[in-house]
Structure 1
Amino acid sequence: MEQEIGNISIALIRKLNPAMKGIGNDFIMDSTEYYIPDVNSIFKYPLRLDGIIIAVRKQGSATININLREYNTTKNDLILCAPGDILQSIPKPGMHQTQMFLISSDFLKEMYINLNSFMPFFISLKEQPIFSLTDEEVKELEAFYTLIEETIDRNDNFRTEIVRRLMGAYLYKLGSILHRRQPEFLSVNPKSMKREEILFNQFINLLTEHHRKERRVDFYAEQLFLSPKHFSTVVKKVSGKTAGEWIDEYVILEAKALLKYSVMSIQEVAYYMNFPNPSFFGKYFKHHTGMSPSEYKVQ
């Protein structure tokens, strides 16, 4: 399956981090200890993976940005990113270790698990992608992690099939933990939201889908059948930021991911992001980041 332009491939991650274990270009696992600032994490820059990211922090703390929302993570925190999410990690100085899986959408589809049973969790991730686990819950997940790691190390016959089944079991165990800790996810009557919050979530969904082509506030207001004034008031009230600020931040986040990880030239990024020309894109980018696209690309 052809990946969406702008996604970083697992193949590139393995090339940049050859010590990571995995299977082909669809599955990576890693639990390497490293010291900040001696090591530059690949997640230092905004990154979008065509797949899921599952990470359990064992040591260290970091500020994690997922789709422009900031979270502070520390030991025993679980981080979940769905396909298409943009992730950036800013680790604090010190020793770090995270048990992490990067799984492509194709590999996920071939695991033969009932994804419908996970849909409530996937939906909830937009609002809560970070969970604090107990020591016991971390040990439960670690037992599966060790089995998967040992299978990859042994390189047995049917290794890929065994890893798929074990990874499926890991996901079911993870779902069981989340259900145990967050039973409202599967409730037929989830916690009610105010109308303003519903509209804001609809705006974010629209922004995720259309920000590469649409930067007009009027466009998003029209999609929600609101006047631009009322729409802007709702967004500001719920989030503390204007609709225009949200749009600009999503556009810049996308541009950063493309400039850093795609093979596209600056000109190609400009046209892909629906700017009239590279010069306009350059001015827009520098206005919001303080540096030109070429400066950001090589830093």
Structure 2
Amino acid sequence: MIDIPNIAFEGEEHIKDFDVLTISDLSAKIDKGLDHDPKKPHRIHFFALLVITEGEGYHEIDLQRYQIKVGSVLKIAKGQVHAFQQKIGYKGFLVIFTEDFILRFFSKPSIEFISHLYNYHISDPLVQSSGLNDSFVHQLREELRVEYSYGQQNILAKILELYLLKLERISGAKRISNQDRDYYPLFLQFKNLVEKDFATTRNVKDYASKMRISTKHLGKLVHIFTLNTPKHFIDQYVVLEVKRAILSTNKSLKEIAYDMGFDEVTNFTKFFKKHTEVTPKRFKADL
């Protein structure tokens, strides 16, 4: 096993934050050799849509295998670990874009509405049988054929923005009411803090303090979007990071425990077993 590589966005020179690849193009790039193997777990620092137009297969995201077929759309969020299957037997497109692209070109109401589309803590990444895909891909490819066109990034963003809004409607994901919408920026702040500081602290009070809100208020807003407590959210994220590390690194359990903020392996083992009902050693052995 090797450490999980962190993959930054690399697009065309004139469109630095957006790109569309066919699966055939991706396979060709893999055959020529990349600085990482997309068929092995790797963490992306951008967003991706895997759109399937022919055939079927599977894709792995954070230790889960998702079956994909014609009409499937798989949403891969910034920060997630994913991998393509060893022998790709389907056709389609990989649409990739950065957070900066969304923030610069999407309207604020759209960002508020679809931002939880990529919150993998509370949404399913797979949307089946979308009738939107053919038109979406066709519009993107037509626009990309016009090199250095005036307003091209704005146009691409609007095509993507409309598609994501319609995809959100099809997916039947949890809606944010007007009242709850006011809490959502705070929830995202909490989520981002957990992802950044989970190895430093798992104490709810610490996160509430950083956000300058009470623990009661934090508990309320986290419950709105996850139906669970902040402590449960934090612990489940730590468990996910532990599983990622065990699956895709060559580090010892002692090293992983230290990386995750545990001073003692025994405490690390107790924590993991409490939340998974198996020890880290058993989890690793069963892989």
Instruction: Please report the TM-score for the alignment, with normalisation by the length of structure 1.
Output: 0.58
- Could you list the per-position Cα deviations for residues 167-213 of structure 1 after superposition, in whole angstroms to 9, with x for gaps in the alignment? xxx998864532343579xxxxxx96633333222211211221222
Matched, 1:236 2:218: no
- Could you list the per-position Cα deviations for residues 76-103 of structure 1 after superposition, in whole angstroms to 9, with x for gaps in the alignment? 24334344234599xxxxx973635498
In structure 1, runs of 5+ residues without a counterpart are 11-18, 30-40, 90-94, 106-112, 148-164, 185-190
Matched, 1:25 2:23: no
Matched, 1:57 2:45: no
1:235 and 1:245, CA in 2 relative to 1: closer, same or farther beyond 3 A? same
Matched, 1:250 2:237: yes
Describe how 1:149-298 pairs up with structure 2 within 5 A: 175-181=157-163, 194=180, 195-298=182-285
Is the contact between residue 55 and residue 99 of structure 1 (CA under 8 Å) also seen in structure 2? yes
- Counterpart CA distance in 1 for 2:209 and 2:196 is 15
Is the contact between residue 283 and residue 292 of structure 1 (CA under 8 Å) also seen in structure 2? yes
- Could you list the per-position Cα deviations for residues 122-157 of structure 1 after superposition, in whole angstroms to 9, with x for gaps in the alignment? 98764114674525326527968xx9xxxxxxxxxx
- Counterpart CA distance in 2 for 1:55 and 1:182 is 13
1:177 and 1:293, CA in 2 relative to 1: closer, same or farther beyond 3 A? same
Instruction: Please report the TM-score for the alignment, with normalisation by the length of structure 2.
Output: 0.60
Could you say which residue in structure 2 is the equivalent of 1:134? 132
Letter in 1 for 2:43: R
Q: CA RMSD in A?
A: 5.0
- Counterpart CA distance in 1 for 2:229 and 2:63 is 16
Give the one of 57, 82, 85 matched to 2:80.
Answer: 85
1:245 and 1:275, CA in 2 relative to 1: closer, same or farther beyond 3 A? same
Alignment length, in residue pairs? 237
- Counterpart CA distance in 1 for 2:134 and 2:51 is 13
- Counterpart CA distance in 2 for 1:246 and 1:264 is 25
Deviation at 1:269, TM superposition (A): 0.7
- Could you list the per-position Cα deviations for residues 223-255 of structure 1 after superposition, in whole angstroms to 9, with x for gaps in the alignment? 222222332233223321111110011101111
SS of residue paired to 1:56: strand
Describe how 1:39-54 pairs up with structure 2 within 5 A: 48-50=43-45, 52-54=47-49
Describe how 1:105-124 pairs up with structure 2 within 5 A: 116-117=104-105
1:67 and 1:283, CA in 2 relative to 1: closer, same or farther beyond 3 A? same
- Counterpart CA distance in 2 for 1:114 and 1:128 is 13
Is the contact between residue 48 and residue 257 of structure 1 (CA under 8 Å) also seen in structure 2? no
- Counterpart CA distance in 1 for 2:49 and 2:164 is 17
SS of residue paired to 2:233: helix
- Counterpart CA distance in 2 for 1:255 and 1:126 is 26
1:246 and 1:98, CA in 2 relative to 1: closer, same or farther beyond 3 A? farther
Is the contact between residue 118 and residue 175 of structure 1 (CA under 8 Å) also seen in structure 2? yes
Give the one of 64, 86, 90 matched to 1:97.
Answer: 90
In structure 2, runs of 5+ residues without a counterpart are 9-25, 119-124, 167-176
How many percent identity over aligned positions? 23
